[in-house]
């Protein structure tokens, strides 16, 4: 089967992508991380200067994937886990500038912050980490991707999903309380 895809990354993608996702997913336990690493594997193959000389595309692709897994695990071990231990409620309250607000505005603001903190706590640790690094720590999406060891596309997905989740939680529960 490898012979028909020799030198063709796009053909190999169609033939081996699902198998590669399954391989990575079993080892990572996360379909999002598996999809990220699979994409990175094909990207590395495309960037490889002698990509047309690959005689066994499947073996070559899975070797790239194993190398990416090893690098991923090393980054995971080296990365401090402090961001998961942060009390998001305390961080949000510390960021609020309550000077000049009426007592009612302060209470409403505190309620919204409480809902937002709950929404952030509902997120998966990786999604929350990407969101906090970008929105609260001020890192660019590219910097977040580099720090977390994931693709820029995955960072964008994490942030967009977190924003939508937080907006729904804050607006949805806020509107239900007013009714």
pLDDT at 6: 46
For the residues of the chain, what is the DSSP string, one character each? -GGGGTT-HHHHHHHHHHHHHHHHHHHHS-HHHHHHHHHHHHHHHHH-TTGGG-S-HHHHHHHHHHHHHHHHHHHHHHS--GGGG--HHHHHHHH---TT--HHHHHHHHHHHHHHHHHHHHS-HHHHHHHHHHHTS---HHHHHHHHTS-HHHHHHHHHHHHHHHHHHHHHHHHHHH-
Taking only the tens of pLDDT, the chain with its 179 residues reads: 444 544 566 777 888 889 988 988 888 877 778 888 888 888 887 777 776 677 788 888 889 888 888 888 777 776 555 444 455 555 555 455 445 567 777 777 778 777 888 888 888 989 988 988 888 778 888 989 999 999 999 999 999 998 888 888 888 754 444 33
Domain ranges of the chain: 2-78, 82-178
pTM above 0.85, yes or no: no
Q: Tell me the fold of 82-178.
A: Arc Repressor Mutant, subunit A (1.10.10)
């Amino acid at each position: 089967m490898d012979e028909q895809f020799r030198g063709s990354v796009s053909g190999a993608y169609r033939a081996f992508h699902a198998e590669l996702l399954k391989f990575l997913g079993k080892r990572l336990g996360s379909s999002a991380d598996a999809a990220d690493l699979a994409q990175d594997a094909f990207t590395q193959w495309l960037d490889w200067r002698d990509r047309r000389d690959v005689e066994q595309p499947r073996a070559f692709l899975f070797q790239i994937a194993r190398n990416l897994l090893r690098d991923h695990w090393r980054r995971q071990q080296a990365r401090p886990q402090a961001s998961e231990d942060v009390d998001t409620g305390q961080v949000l309250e510390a960021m609020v500038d309550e000077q000049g607000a009426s007592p009612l505005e302060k209470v409403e603001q505190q309620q919204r912050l409480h809902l937002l903190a709950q929404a952030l706590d509902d997120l998966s640790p990786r999604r929350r980490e990407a969101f906090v690094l970008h929105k609260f720590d001020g890192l660019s999406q590219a910097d977040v991707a580099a720090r977390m060891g994931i693709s820029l596309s995955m960072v964008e997905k994490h942030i967009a999903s977190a924003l939508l989740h937080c907006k729904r939680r804050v607006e949805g529960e806020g509107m239900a309380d007013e009714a």
